[in-house]
Structure 1
């Protein structure tokens, strides 16, 4: 343990005697037209507040360069004849790494003979010009700064209105009460696997993201009424972007932390060529938490991951870029109780049974992008991609009896036998090809159109022991392929500089069973004046169900086995959104958004009194005959007050009141498993700058408080007097007739993080400490049967205090 903390100190000492020179860095990048992506030649770039004024103009390729910018924070302003001016505030300049900005400007819809000056767009708005509502951009700086983010892009989403993570510590993303399995992850514009280590069989969540902050660019996240280009999604879209590597000089970042140690390398291929590479590798050190007894489990989880991006521009053939993201994780958890992990079959609740859980998972995403300009106003974007993910889980079941001494004292547990009960091998591959055409007709109109083909290749096998653990039964066992076509067309029309309309159509066709859908989309943004705006949005959306449900093997009453779900239709929903935004200052904004989601065609069990719907699936399984006769409703209101980082502090306060319900064939409206009813986030942060004798140090303090409704549960069986009425001998534990009627209480969490940064000549050091659930709150989440607990009832609770210490060295 002492060697782990010695490494950051050693690196600091080795680089400390270089303070004689000034602390400066280069800020450079490019400016393009936001619609056509054509370079803007002669655009003016100015550092606001500089004295004397620091500025430049873009060259024939739209590039700009600002040398000898003092370390700290700067704000730059962009201006160009006939375009809306734009300000990029609070850019962090570190002495150890160049700042590279890829920026765009919007042409004014009203032609003027002089420079168009407008109020600057609100920071945090989605970068995609076709997304006018329910969208937000997330910068790498926010990911590392917000308390509770832990350098994990999944966790950072739960800081925003309408989005929650599971309080058990998993980094799933619950959007407006929808299941996390209906969130679509994208990387560089391509749909990808669930990018999390220790993934479960539903690819819903995981323990830790394979993505980390060192490789990310500003990315977009959408919570509803999606732009026409997004299909096969019902809940949310996380459109993750990787930054390009430095194409002029070699740079590196070394990170050493409790969760993982990683190295990032980037640089040019050769001098004078605009191409670059970026690569990151990370290896697990999470066993440190286990060694300190902070995870509550017996066993050693391990992981490793890597990512890269290569950019290859050409003179006449456009720009090629290759990217990849992969990871592998494993863990052997001993003596697993429901409090630690949920295992199939409920056998961990039986007396005399002990379970060990072995988990193995891997993922790989590879892609090739090509952007080809066609004249000054059009370009074609082509993507080829391959994704794969695999999960192999085994539950080892041991029967034991307790040994006692002559005086009745407990001596030890004696294991009688040990065998593999549950075994799961799930492999999913996908091959994708997509082409998108973008054309800027004029300053008022832009069109997009695209098509994508995906071929899925599934190899699934799940089995467990039944009949007193003597007969192995296969729940799913198939090797199948399934293809989908998706097409879209989108049109953006700007009536003037105040009113913008985006409308279009998305189409999806599933070749497996010839199910199709046509989905109209429309959104409107109206800037009432310089400080007030409203947004409207509507979209019809659909998605496929998880593959295991299509090929589930179901046993009939006569003992025969069939696969009755091949013909499942797409899940569908109508999204309606109304938003209002009030901008008090350039840094302070208030938002309100009301939404209604009408879900239909939901797969539910084909049994009159069943409460089962696939939208409630978790990491467990329930393979039954399904029909698309379920319905659901999600509605709510979200309020946000955000003060963006300026003058060395920020705050973010948001709250959501919402409802998420569903109906099966029984006709009763029930809460979904993800209906939290309300959530509140309060985040604050402050930086103390120019510390130390050389004024080269910065101290940061950030905090977050979260309050939310508890998870609705399926309770244990009880009699009319409330006494436990489970029947372990017949494996009867749960009262499905009361599914999702009650919770076990609300959930609260307090998070604190601190950081310290040293800027030195050509190097930067950063030290982070994040304390998640610093009060060690243990709100109850679910209940389970445990004869060893008081009243024979045990509870799963929030994950306790988890510290995350990280040191970064930029050189």
Structure 2
């Protein structure tokens, strides 16, 4: 830690000593029509509260430019005849990097006495105007500002109502009690794999995201009742957007910190051409954390590296092409792993086993191309192609004592290589100022190579759990309409069609949402959607051994999981910077895969790393319902706060018909966030200190408890492998969770560079709530616990130049 601090200190003061004071920067951008994607000429762009007032009209290509803008925060007003007026508040202007904006304007339905409606971007509405309920936009500044984000876009989601994580250090995203494996990740509008290092075969888990905040644009997150363009998803959708690189000036960001060293480069291809590139690379060896005593007692090494890019290539007649991608490699070797530290796959209990070593390697890549072709002033076609690759290699070695020598043998072995090829085309047409049409089709070819085996408990014979090399194709079609009756009432309605060509399963899924502005300060919204998704592919090819020694694959005909989503919301604005939002929802899940055995409570919606390969039937059901309250004070006058609370319930039924909690039913969660900036410090007024904090309170995940007698003492039977009380499965959690996180940043603007030191301390009180329990004869009472992750500091230095 001392070495990192010395390096950061040296770099920081080497750069800051190099420049004299002249603290201005360029603010520029392009304004386009929301629907046609054509540039808007003659729009008025105003820097609010500037003296003298700075006003400019956009050029023919929709561009505008303000040179020599003082550093700090500005608010921009954008207006044009026939369009809703835009207010973009709190835009950060730093000396080390140009501020480049890409702004979309929505055509107004009606104008009253020459006054058009005002749309305030402060409210965080989704960028996708087809979403009217259960959605919000997340800006890069929020990702960077909110405490606990670690500059990681996936961790930022748990700050919002209805969303929580596993609290075990993973990047699981639990939305309204749903399993994290039913989250859909998207990059630049294209569906991708789970973008986290160290994920498992269900494409969940992982602890560090490949995504990097340095590359992000404002993105959308949806928690239910999705519009018709989103299919093959039950839980939530995170549509991550990458920003365009600077197309006029070469710029860089260098970062050095506990979690890694990174470099971001961006710039134009040639002078006068509007194309640009943006690329980032990061390398980390987190074994340093072990040396600092911050790895939770795990003995081993953990390494990762990743990269991301976006290239934008506009043409005069053939439309705009953009190419993008993210990729990552990671591996670890942990020695003497117990369930208190890391849950290993294929875990078995043997009386003479003294420990396990877990070796894991993972890789992922998502590459894509988008093309937007404008047909006329009202319509355009979007075409997308992508390739995704995900590989997971797992090896679990068991350690035994033979005489005085420790020996190990390979128990669990897994090799997964999944490649996905996707193509899609969407036609958008603004038929009138009131009616917008969107129709599209999406094709996916999924190629799987998967082999998994482990030793049996009794004979040490290697049993094959799954072994296949197969292709699966899906086709999704959708049609969507957005109709604005007037300036107060808007509806979106459409249909999604999902087709699985493996077993000819298909659905027709209607979607409907409504947004009604009751007054200038209050909005009522409602939505309904039928949704479906495929189960994790390994279940379709599970190999079940029969009594005669032969094996069958009984799950090839598994149907889609399905759900009805109902949402009702109300939003009230008390001032320009203060709002309250109440949303209630009900999700009726059905067709859930459960064990084809009334004595077995297994359901795939509860699946974690404890994989089970069983004969499944689509006869399970479930319910998720709850109420979410959000009170938000948007950033203004150098401070903000966000308070949200959720009370919810998540249950399911297996073949025995008994209603049980799902393992992800935390029942409640509360987030309290607060942040304050102290700008214009120092003689040159070029320094800013930012303080941010987050307090989280919530229920733990439901567990299957160990067997206990009437006296409460442990009653497990290791000889017959009887450890858990399935009669009490998921009735309770072990302990509620709380966590306090604080972050502090110090920023200095210089004429040619901006420097920032950032410190984030996760779980600053080191609260270690118990998450689950397991039998461990070496612990007091023979009970061991997996616990909440402890205190974790993340220190980073960045320079923008």
Q: What TM-score range do you get, normalising by the shorter chain?
A: over 0.9
Tell me how far 1:348 sits from its aligned partner. Answer: 5.6
Corresponding residue of 1:712: 702
Corresponding residue of 1:400: 401
> Deviations along 1:558-578, whole A, 9 cap, x unmatched?
433110000000000000000
Corresponding residue of 2:465: 475
CA contact (8 A) 1:540 1:573 kept: yes
Q: Distance in 1 between matches of 2:703 and 2:467?
A: 30
Q: Distance in 2 between matches of 1:610 and 1:418?
A: 33
Corresponding residue of 1:293: 293
Q: Distance in 2 between matches of 1:394 and 1:203?
A: 18
Corresponding residue of 1:701: 691
CA contact (8 A) 1:451 1:487 kept: yes
From 657, 661, 681, give the equivalent of 1:671: 661
Corresponding residue of 1:27: 27
> Deviations along 1:350-398, whole A, 9 cap, x unmatched?
4533100001000000001111000111110000110010000100111
From 593, 597, 600, give the equivalent of 1:610: 600
From 762, 771, 790, give the equivalent of 1:800: 790
Tell me how far 1:19 sits from its aligned partner. Answer: 5.1
> Deviations along 1:604-629, whole A, 9 cap, x unmatched?
00001211000000022010000000
> Deviations along 1:619-671, whole A, 9 cap, x unmatched?
22010000000000000000000001110000000000000000000000000
- Which piece of structure 1 moves more, 100-109 or 174-183? 100-109
Structure 1 unaligned segments of length 5 or more: list them. Answer: 404-413
Q: Distance in 1 between matches of 2:97 and 2:55?
A: 20
Equivalent residue pairs, number:
800
Tell me how far 1:113 sits from its aligned partner. Answer: 6.4
Distance 1:712 1:44, change over 3 A: same
Tell me how far 1:442 sits from its aligned partner. Answer: 1.2
CA contact (8 A) 1:528 1:534 kept: yes
> Deviations along 1:178-225, whole A, 9 cap, x unmatched?
000000000001100100001122211211000011011110000000
> Deviations along 1:153-178, whole A, 9 cap, x unmatched?
11100000000011111111000000
Query: Are 1:332 and 2:333 an aligned pair?
Result: yes
CA contact (8 A) 1:81 1:115 kept: no
CA contact (8 A) 2:148 2:155 kept: yes
- Give 1:222-301 correspondences, 5 Å limit: 222-295=222-295, 296-301=297-302
SS, match of residue 207 in structure 1: strand
Corresponding residue of 2:210: 210
Q: Distance in 2 between matches of 1:118 and 1:460?
A: 54
Q: Distance in 2 between matches of 1:350 and 1:648?
A: 60
TM-score, normalised via structure 2 length:
0.98
CA contact (8 A) 2:368 2:384 kept: yes
Corresponding residue of 1:430: 420
CA contact (8 A) 2:87 2:118 kept: no
Q: Distance in 1 between matches of 2:552 and 2:328?
A: 36
TM-score, normalised via structure 1 length:
0.97
Q: Distance in 1 between matches of 2:354 and 2:12?
A: 52
Query: Are 1:791 and 2:792 an aligned pair?
Result: no
- Give 1:462-501 correspondences, 5 Å limit: 462-468=452-458, 470-501=460-491
Q: Distance in 2 between matches of 1:756 and 1:717?
A: 52
Q: Distance in 1 between matches of 2:83 and 2:269?
A: 35
Query: Are 1:756 and 2:757 an aligned pair?
Result: no
SS, match of residue 555 in structure 2: coil
CA contact (8 A) 1:707 1:747 kept: yes
Distance 1:748 1:148, change over 3 A: same
> Deviations along 1:308-342, whole A, 9 cap, x unmatched?
00000000000001001000100000000001111
Corresponding residue of 2:130: 130
> Deviations along 1:258-277, whole A, 9 cap, x unmatched?
01110000000000000000
- Which piece of structure 1 moves more, 347-356 or 78-87? 347-356
CA contact (8 A) 1:277 1:311 kept: yes
CA contact (8 A) 1:577 1:594 kept: yes
Query: Are 1:601 and 2:591 an aligned pair?
Result: yes
Corresponding residue of 1:409: none
Distance 1:341 1:349, change over 3 A: farther
Query: Are 1:72 and 2:62 an aligned pair?
Result: no
CA contact (8 A) 1:429 1:458 kept: yes
Corresponding residue of 1:449: 439
Q: Distance in 1 between matches of 2:154 and 2:462?
A: 37
Tell me how far 1:464 sits from its aligned partner. Answer: 0.4
Tell me how far 1:733 sits from its aligned partner. Answer: 1.5
Corresponding residue of 2:370: 369
- Give 1:512-591 correspondences, 5 Å limit: 512-591=502-581
Tell me how far 1:18 sits from its aligned partner. Answer: 5.1
Query: Are 1:747 and 2:737 an aligned pair?
Result: yes
SS, match of residue 199 in structure 2: coil
